[in-house]
Amino acid sequence: MNAPTLIRTCSVWRALEVVGDTPILLILEASWLGARKYDELRSRTGLLNALLSDRLKRLVAAGLMERQLYCERPPRYAYVMTPKGRDVYWTSLMMLRWEQKCGETRNKISVVLTHKTCGQQFAPEPACGSCGETIDATEVEWKEGPGVGLMAPLYSRRRQQRGSSAGATSLLDQAAQLMGDRWASLIMRSIFTGITRFEDIRLDTAMATNILTERLQWLQSVGVIRQRPDPSSPGRNEYRVTRKGVEYFPVLLMLLRWGDQYYVSPEGPPLLLTHKVCGNPLDPKVVCSECRKPLKPDEVDYKVIEQAPDVR
């Protein structure tokens, strides 16, 4: 009997086990936009009943949402974020930031954010908790932490949501497709941590060769990575993030932060990050672009601008 393949422990991996799924991300987005009742969530996400019901059950089981009875006869429930669910807010804001900077905007709803603390319309920014500077992937150093170890990957079979009608008019459709494909996110994690060759990425993620090949091709097609000759090994290629890929870094960073908060091992975080600009351990935060204060869900107002009708 063969021993199971083992991969590096990672809070990103553990977080993706929970939220690395496009329908779940669309439900979370709909909740941020005010949807609570089942019909509201179905209308906002465009998900079929069976898929919506299944993902709501998963969110409740994972502790991100809870059901609250609002009608006794017949019994009807609203789905409300728990504190654990609300802590995904910074990840969602970074997905929104990436979508607004790098995604397709045609035929999509948009949102205008206002920070009630300062009264200004703003853009969410990833910032270092020590120096307050905006975080750039090229200015972050990674190293193994006390919680690093090995674990057996538990890849669940999930259908790809690319090109589906679900969430076609959502805020985060492209960002949700990218994070919702857990394998793609793990490839991005590998490349960001300096693992850039095909075989090394395969060992780091424990993916089958055909799956890794397909995901690398897809990530290149959406413009977040590129292939180039490996300068240290003539005849070989490596994969590097593009500028569009660099802009995706804060999404994974906030996902890592959330994973460290709720799924870290007893020994500590598997990864330690240092902000090279100030030399301090990186404590990432999402702040208002205008007043630079950390953002809280109840301190942000939003105005949803629905997509305009397609006039031909």
**Domain presence at residue 211:** yes
**Domain presence at residue 60:** yes
Which domain covers residue 122, as residue numbers? 7-305
Distances (CA, A) of 133 to 117, 137, 286: 20, 12, 11
pLDDT at 156: 52
DSSP 47: -
How many structural domains compose the chain? 1
Strands (DSSP E) along the chain, which ranges? 7-8, 65-71, 76-81, 110-115, 120-121, 124-128, 140-144, 150-151, 225-229, 237-241, 271-275, 280-281, 284-288, 300-305
pLDDT at 300: 95
User: Which residues of the chain register pLDDT less than 70?
Assistant: 1-6, 105-107, 152-169, 307-312
**Domain presence at residue 312:** no
DSSP 116: T
Task: Give backbone dihedrals phi and psi of 278, rounded to 5 degrees, phi first.
Answer: -110, -10
pTM of the predicted structure, to 2 decimals: 0.88
pLDDT at 277: 96
pLDDT at 164: 45
Answer whether 271's CB lies under 8 Å from 121's CB: no
**Domain presence at residue 1:** no
